[in-house]
Structure 1
Amino acid sequence: MPAPRGSSEGNVARQKSRSFAVIGLGTFGTTVASELARFGNHVLGIDTVDRNVSRVADTLAEAVIADGRDEQALREAGVGNYDVAVIAIGEELEASILCTMNAKLLGVPTIWVKAMSRTHHRILTKLGADRVIQPEQEIGRHIAQMLHNPLVRDYVSLGNGFHVVDFRVPGSLEGKRVDGLGLRDKFELRALGLMRGSEFLSCDSGALELKADDKLLLLGRRENLRRFADGL
């Protein structure tokens, strides 16, 4: 169990890592829990199915069989001492709601919950979940964006319509300078930098000449990024 929040040991530990309780160890929950553990965090995995718990027993700091719908079971597992609860029981609406309520009652500071529908999303938001995730929709939008324009290798949404895009420079832009692309004046975009192989190059001066397959990092609104990419 992680050190209680507020203790000096806990404060020192959180400078390096955080503690997470992942409730629901299906494919999504197991992936989240395993990656968090790989990053060096203390992770508790909880599921009602023995084989799901056994599958992560050697990967996570702790893995227990318990029912997230049972407040006392979560209390005994020490969930209230964790920094974040990730509730990955998206397929069972009642279980997801009860587990979210229990995590709130136990005083977990941050709660992320998986949802499977818009109605589920609204209910969880009303219950006070800090972040409601719909993985299938989010990944679907992400993939559609990259399929729509193969030059877009990946992107990150910053909110309020702004994105950072990892844009693969096509052969048609070989030899052109960054300041010759009209990014600011024509598209209202900003070049944050460029990756050439494993080397990061600054675009601040605008004099940098592009090479095919460079990775140009662009910041701007989605519609402007799309106009730029579609025009090539």
Structure 2
Amino acid sequence: MATKHHSFVVIGLGTFGGTVALELARFGNHVTGIDRSERSVAAIADELDRTLILDAREDVALREAGIEICDVGVIAIGDDIEASILATITLKTLGIKKIWAKAASKNHHRILSKLGVDRVIHPEKEVGQHIAQVLHNPLVRDYVSLGNGQHVVNFRIPETLEGRKLDELKHHGFDLRCIGVMRGTEFLGQDGSGCVLQKDDLLLLLGGRKGLRDFAGSL
């Protein structure tokens, strides 16, 4: 089944917003990038479908930009709270279905939430938490938070577990579910499959933070 492409408007083309815009375009989506800095716009203009140089605080300019046809709005302005809030209000009044916005502080977060933003983003905080989790346990290669306290974690199988069967790991005792095992680019093995583990296999586990932490400590 082909992936459905969407139309996005990204307001604020700094390091964060520019990266989001470029990646969305790379996935084949229609992306409009907006920034008041001519330099920021020029840096990625050739990679996006459309770019505009305008101040997000000017609601008339945003309204006349034709962005109401976009499915999703990303407000990536972090250093100018006024511009972020005004851009959010304009996108809401234009009827854009989904809005994500970057927040610079807790108060900024609260305001964006009150305005009905679908998701408030704290890039630096989220990346910092991610890095700390991986640094804390050398066996954790990566993890994804699914919300509601649930996470999917990649555990690197250490040499001490080489040759053990997957169902011998006792992860059930930590209230964890095994999604499977990655060996290089190959996906194999699930609960009860009798998969024999090799050093540097990646074990994909789903569960709560405490269970995952305790299981990692038991390896």
**Structure 2 length normalisation: TM-score?**
0.97
- Cα deviation, 1:100-152, whole Å, max 9, x if unaligned, reads 01111111111100001111100100011111000011111000000000111
Distance 1:64 1:137, change over 3 A: same
Could you tell me which residue of structure 1 aligns to residue 114 of structure 2? 126
- 1:188 to 2:198 alignment: no
Question: How well do the aligned residues superpose, as a CA RMSD in angstroms?
Answer: 1.2
The 5 A counterparts of 1:34-45 are 34-45=22-33
Corresponding residue for residue 209 of structure 2: 222
Structure-1 separation of matches of 2:186 and 2:85: 47
> Match for residue 200 of structure 1?
187
Note the C-alpha offset of 1:21.
0.1
CA distance in 2: counterparts of 1:136 and 1:151, whole angstroms: 23
**Amino acid corresponding to residue 207 of structure 1 in structure 2:** G
1:150 to 138, 142, 147: 138
Identity of aligned residues (%): 61
Runs of 4+ aligned residues of structure 1 deviating over 2 Å after TM superposition are none
Q: Please show how residues 44-83 of structure 1 align to structure 2 within 5 Å.
A: 44-83=32-71
Instruction: Tell me if the contact between 1:69 and 1:102 (Cα under 8 Å) persists in the aligned partners.
Output: no
Pairs aligned (count): 218
Partner SS state of residue 212, structure 2: helix
Residue matched to 1:112: 100
The code of the aligned residue for 1:212 comes to K
* Structure 1 letter corresponding to 2:37: V
Could you tell me which runs of 5 or more consecutive residues in structure 2 were left unpaired when the two chains were aligned. Answer: none
Cα distance in structure 2, aligned partners of 1:70 and 1:91 = 17
* Aligned-partner SS, 2:9: strand
Q: Give the deviation of 1:15 after TM superposition.
A: 6.3
Q: Which moved more, 1:131-140 or 1:63-72?
A: 63-72
Alpha-carbon distance, 1:68 to partner: 1.1
Superposed CA offset, 1:167-205 (max 9, x none): 111111101111111111x21111101111111102133
**Structure 2 CA distance for aligned equivalents of residues 75 and 98 of structure 1:** 12
CA contact (8 A) 1:196 1:214 kept: yes
CA drift of 1:16 comes to 2.4
Equivalent residue in structure 1 for 2:127, among 139, 142, 165: 139
Write out per-residue CA displacement over residues 2-48 of structure 1, whole angstroms, 9 at most, x where no aligned residue: xxxxxxxxxxxx96200000000000000000000000000000000
In structure 2, distance between residues paired with 1:222 and 1:228 = 10
